[in-house]
Structure 1
Amino acid sequence: MTLHALRIYHEKAAGRLVIAPDKARIEFGDNVLPQLKTTSDGTKVLWPQPFDDARDPQNWSDWQKHVQLAIVTLAAISPDFNVGIGIAGIQDIAETYGVSAEKITSSTTSWAVFLLGWGGILAVVLMQRLGRLPVLFWSQLLALGFLIGCALSPNLRTFAAMRFLTSFFCGVPQVTGLYVVSDVFPFHLQAHKLNVWVMGFIISPFFPPCALGYLVPRAGFRWAYGVGIIYNGIVVFLIALFGRETLLDRHDPAACDHVPPNTFANRVETLVGITGSRLARFRTPWKDLAIRSFRLMWRPHLLSLMLYEGFLFGFSIGMNLTNSLFLGEPRPLGYGFSQDAIATIYFTPIVSVLLGQLVGHHINDFIVTRAIRRNGGVYEAESRLWCVSPHITTDISPRPLRMRRSCAIALPIYVAGLIVSGAAFQNKLSVAAVIMGWGIREIAVMVNTVAIYAYANDCFPRFPGEISGLLNLFRTLGGFAMPYFQTTWARKRGSLQVFGCEAAIVAGMFFMIVPAVYHLGPKLRAKYSM
């Protein structure tokens, strides 16, 4: 195997990677083993294989890598944070513009969620041609300008337009993160770093109702948007000051020679996109980029899991969009809580996501390490899915790969959380029941989402942006429609029926999709990889 072939082996392998050096000796031969770069302790083979050049992002210092991760994580908070400002100020916005709170939710909030996904799809195409950094910078700068428009809007029509444009442009970081993690971190660290980035965009919608919920009744929604403007301004500043371009085409043996020297002038040119436009001729043509997402979307093991994640995450988005209504409206539909009480309850999902990040970090590590050991030093992507006692016999080990912990770790917790929430809202149980149901559901969302993102990225390692864009689109499409029917349905039939049906849908999709993908995954990857 040539050195160039080793550098792109992780893309050709599509979800099956040789991790143990001893297994690599058997797989590649004694003549290739000395060429393989491993971790400092010699226990894991590095994928992708880095260039012998300090300009390769895989060779950057740990400090520089984590600075880039911190920037994209802080930026990933912005999209849902900006949407969430409207949730925190929903009553004041409704009074200011003379409409009902439900009208604000259905006519502006849900469509703002809808547009979060589409901006990322366009950004993926641009990032592959111009680079990650300039697209991230310009999108966040434009989003900041439109967010200022939200704060200054004189009427509902202008407010809605500014909110929609903000969402379209600010959704880009929810695509960029998977790019950056794949660009700078080796395979064995990617799930850990994904856990951090995913935590950013899952926790972000709960910050505004929590923190700004205390501000809005005292200062109005425009000041809440002022806080958002400050946060987004800080993110733009960090991108401009510390952001670095992570795109490197590993198919080009001379890729590192295209990286400009790290001078101030070159950094400015890279930031604004001048460097990217010069290098665009070395990169994938526009025509191929435009159809990549469509070519990927229909792959059965990806499409089925995107549908599952879309419903699971979408119901979570819908819950966040309507929770303030359930908590704030008078009985019999809601609890009639004050704005301060609602803001306090919104601490629940924040704590839950942090717990989910901690749990997911250790569970992912344990399951994958155990799977590699049982599989003779080879990683199979399906170990991310953790099905209930699956038995897969692969072509790389005579032993079956048995996983007794599962994405079903997330499923029963999620279902229980929805049912507890429905019963609490319908029967006006103690607020502790609301907190418990909401809390355990968000833990499940965190654990499940990291597993799905990691699995999809492992199966299509050459297309992290397209994978991230499609998953982001499916989860936002799953959530944007919820305000149109959830509150009305709850009024007619009760919250328990609403959340019970949602729990049944997610459970049904799990049993139809996840076990099948787990068992058929190796064959599907072999047949439909790109």
Structure 2
Amino acid sequence: MSDSSESKQDKAGDKPTSTNLGSGPDEDVGNTTTDDAERVEKGSSDEQDPNIVFWDGPNDPHNPKNWPDSKKWLNIGVMSVLTVITPLGSSMFAPGIPEIMTEFHSTSSTVATFVLSIYILGFAFGGLIVAPLSEMYGRWPLYNVGNLLFTAFTIGAARSSSMGMLMAFRLLMGLSGAVPVTIGSGSIGDVMPVEKRGRAMATWALGPLLGPCVGPVAGGYLIQAAGWRWVFYLIAILGGICIPIAFFGLQETFAPVLLDRKAARLRKETGNPLLTSKMASEQDFKKKLQADVVRPLKFLTMAPIITAMSLYMAVTYAILYLLITTFTFVYGKEYGFGEGTIGLTFLPAGIGMAIGVVSLGPLSDRLVKSRQGQGKEHRPEIRLIPYFSIPTGLAIPAGLFVYGWTTDKGVHWIVPMIGVAIFSAGLMGVMMCIQNYLIDTYPLYAASVTAALSLFRSLLGALLPLCALQMYDALGLGWGNSLLAFISLALVPIPLVFYYFGANLRKRFHLNV
């Protein structure tokens, strides 16, 4: 419980602690974290109120920002493992699609693509439910319930007896598997200071991208040896192993929930019913639920920063899934790869992403630390600095041109795979730029921001691949991938625009969420 002396200590203490907590749930979050800190400091009347419960000074060990690094990285590590497993479900069985089509007596190319991409629709709509719930009840319950349901639905997919049943369980897998993908960035923002966030974000972001790329490598050989159903059994086994690990290894990190618990404990200990968390919402449950559910859509449609950035991420993510859903057909037809070896065609995308993480993740943090070392105030736009965001953006169309024209002309298979690796490294860089920028801008609502990004990204990622084979049939592999390259090339200037004008746009477009 904060008394007047603690209030003075908070004001005079470490600014980043207040900064990263942000404002209350009903306050304007359109400004930077620095503005959030100023608004907290302006609430002096609240801080003088003895019934307001807050952290016990800037070094309170119960504040997740002040946890030891070992505790922070344990949380991030467990969460990142979950973020690898659930995306495995999206495409690990991709090499077995021809076998599934034969078993369920289907010949439609659209069905062949949709059975893969329907999982991503689950990601899209699951995020809209998961994000607000995590901002009402905290991160820990969502991780554990989500993993339990994901494991159960994966077993259902393995036991499917028809194409409709398989699609239904894959949709449910996506809905429950959206939990770590949606709230992982929020969990990182809960515990990591801004100068260490880039590396943690890179570790976490690798899961949603690496899982769909590396999974089919093992999936191809597993399907060849034991059949497509064992892909789902394997994923269910991995999810089951993680149930006790997540239950005991993860801890709650969301500050408003932790402060609510602290207030409840102090009310019980002191008998004072007036004690309340400084970050508690004054809305009743029904209104708060409505506001929380609408928040991701509000971010997506009314914040130009998020709208433009989500468009960039959605297009690049959709292209990735278009490539993933067509590797089986392209390499099988053009290069004669079999069921086992065709899984290896997904490996270059994973290698490219790993290169992106290792080389670009630490660079983002070094940029922030460099400014801090010069005594400059951090601003989110530093995450979009041109010599970081522009080259990574250009790598995406460059990789697509190489992949498209070398497959079209029948050049040795290693060359298009190099093109995919270049594309994937660029994609990882773009994703890190955008995710870090938006978390720095909206720290308290990182989960809702990620849900907004995920909705647009997953919808396009699920729907664009449906026309992939028809596009290749009409335009060929060369011009078909060139079309995708030209579209991604047109999006490259977006980070540059926000690097120069983002601060003004954040001040102009305030959202009362």
Same fold (TM over 0.5): yes
- Would you say the 8 A contact 2:297–2:452 is kept in 1? no
Structure 1 residue 4: Cα displacement? 5.6
Aligned residue number for residue 134 of structure 1: 141
Could you say which residue in structure 1 is the equivalent of 2:52? none
Equivalent residue, structure 2, for 1:382: 381
SS at match of 1:153: coil
1:430-445 map, 5 Å: 430-445=412-427
Within 1, Cα distance between the matches of 2:307 and 2:56? Answer: 29
Structure 1 Cα separation of the partners of residues 56 and 449 of structure 2 = 22
Aligned ranges 1:451-470 → 2 under 5 Å = 451-470=433-452
Matched, 1:495 2:498: no
C-alpha spacing 1:105/1:281, structure 2 compared with 1 (3 Å):
farther
Is contact 1:15-1:459 (8 Å) kept? yes
Alpha-carbon distance in 1 for matches of 2:482, 2:178: 31
Say whether the 8 Å CA contact 2:65–2:191 is kept in structure 1. Answer: yes
Q: Which amino acid aligns with 2:482?
A: G
Is the 1:91–1:101 Cα contact (8 Å) retained in structure 2? no
Distance 1:61 1:515, change over 3 A: closer
Mapping of 1:358-377 within 5 angstroms?
358-372=358-372, 376-377=375-376
Report the aligned-residue RMSD.
Answer: 2.7
What is residue 68 of structure 2 aligned with on the other side?
A: 61
- CA deviations over 1:10-59 (Å, ceiling 9, x no partner): 436933649xxxxx9xxx9xxxxxxxxxxxxxxxxxxx997443322222
Tell me the CA shift for residue 142 of structure 1: 1.1
Please give the alpha-carbon distance, in whole angstroms, between the structure 2 residues aligned to 1:258 and 1:246.
16
Aligned to 1:216: 223
Corresponding position of 2:262: 257
Change (3 A) 1:190 1:366: closer
Distance in structure 1 (CA, Å) of the matches to 2:403 and 2:242 = 35
Q: Partners in 2 of 1:220 and 1:8 — Cα distance?
A: 54
3-state SS in 1 of match to 2:255: coil
Alignment of 1:270-281 (within 5 A): none
* Structural mapping, 1:115-134, within 5 Å: 115-134=122-141
Aligned counterpart, 2:338: 338
User: How far off its partner does 1:371 sit?
Assistant: 4.5
Determine the structure 2 residue equivalent to 1:266.
Answer: none
Where do 5+ consecutive residues of structure 1 fail to align? 19-23, 29-47, 262-278, 388-404
Residue among 105, 118, 129 paired with 1:111: 118
Deviation per residue, 1:404-446 (Å, 9 max, x gap): x131121221111000110122111111112111111111111
Higher relative contact order (CA 8 A, sep 6+): 2
Residues 1:50 and 1:501: Cα distance change in structure 2 (over 3 Å)? farther
Match of residue 321, structure 1, among 325, 330, 342: 325
Answering whether residue 304 of structure 2 is matched by residue 305 of structure 1, we say no
Structure 1 residue identity aligned to 2:65: Q
Alignment equivalent of 1:182, drawn from 189, 193, 214: 189
Superposed CA offset, 1:149-205 (max 9, x none) = 111111111111111111111111101211211111222111111110001111010
Contact persistence 1:76–1:201 (CA under 8 A): yes
Identity level (%): 20
Other-structure match for 1:35: none
Q: Is the 8 A contact 1:89 1:224 kept in 2?
A: no
Contact 1:359 / 1:447 at 8 angstroms: preserved in 2?
A: no
Mapped partners of 2:291, 2:160: distance in 1: 40
Kindly provide the amino acid, as one letter, of the partner of residue 383 in structure 2: R
Q: How does 1:399-438 map to 2 (within 5 A)?
A: 405-438=387-420
C-alpha distance in 2 between matches for 1:308 and 1:156: 33
**Counterpart Cα distance in 1 of 2:87 and 2:203:** 16
**What residue in structure 1 maps to residue 50 of structure 2?**
none
- SS for the counterpart of 2:60 is coil
TM-score (structure 2 length as normaliser): 0.83
Larger displacement relative to structure 2 (289-298 or 441-450): 289-298
Residue of structure 2 equivalent to 1:274: none
Asked if residue 226 in structure 1 is aligned to residue 233 in structure 2, the reply is: yes
Q: Partner of 1:157 in structure 2?
A: 164
SS in structure 1 of the partner of residue 92 of structure 2: helix
The 8 Å contact of residues 129 and 280 in structure 1, kept in 2 or not, is answered as: no
User: Post-superposition shift, 1:3?
Assistant: 5.2
Give 2:299's aligned amino acid. L
Which residue does 2:31 correspond to in 1? 14
Q: 1:347 maps to which residue? A: 347
> For 1:364 and 1:159, how far apart are their aligned partners in 2?
41
C-alpha displacement of 1:77: 1.4
Q: SS of 2:378's equivalent?
A: strand
1:287 alignment partner in structure 2: 290
Tell me, in whole angstroms, the C-alpha distance in 2 between the residues paired with 1:67 and 1:280: 30
Structure 2 portions without partners, runs of 5+: 1-6, 24-29, 42-54, 267-279
Q: What letter matches 2:297 in structure 1? A: F
Q: TM-score, with normalisation over the residues of structure 1?
A: 0.81
Q: Using the alignment, how far apart are the partners of 1:433 and 1:343 within structure 2?
A: 17
Kindly tell me: are residues 260 and 104 of structure 1, through their superposed partners in 2, closer, same or farther at Cα, counting changes over 3 Å?
Answer: farther
SS state at 1:53 partner: coil
The 1-side partners of 2:101 and 2:166 are apart by: 12
* 8 Å contact kept, 1:87–1:109: yes
Residue identity opposite 1:326 in structure 2 = V
Aligned equivalents of 2:127, 2:136: Cα separation in 1 = 15
Deviation of residue 368 (structure 1)?
Answer: 3.0
- Residues of 2 paired with 1:379 and 1:229: CA distance? 43
Counterpart in 2 of 1:239? 246
User: Which SS does the other structure have where 1:462 is aligned?
Assistant: coil
Structure with greater helix percent: 2
CA spacing shift, 1:102–1:80, aligned 2, 3 Å: farther
Is the contact between residue 415 and residue 507 of structure 1 (CA under 8 Å) also seen in structure 2?
yes
In structure 2, how many angstroms separate the alpha carbons of the residues matched to 1:158 and 1:132?
31
CA distance in 2 between partners of 1:50 and 1:97 (Å): 63
Q: Which amino acid aligns with 1:190?
A: R
> How big is the shift at 1:260?
6.7
Contact 2:186 2:443 in 1 (8 A): no
Q: What residue identity is the alignment partner of 2:405? A: A
Aligned mates of 1:441, 1:16 — CA distance in 2: 33
Q: What's 2:496 paired with?
A: 515
Q: Deviations over 1:249-285 (max 9, x none)?
A: 29x9x65624879xxxxxxxxxxxxxxxxx9999982
- Are the aligned partners of 1:112 and 1:163 in contact in 2 as well (CA < 8 Å)? yes
Measured in 2, the distance between the counterparts of 1:49 and 1:15 equals 24
2:153 corresponding residue in structure 1: 146
Q: How far 1:143 moved relative to its partner?
A: 1.5
**Is contact 2:195–2:369 with CA below 8 Å preserved after alignment?**
no
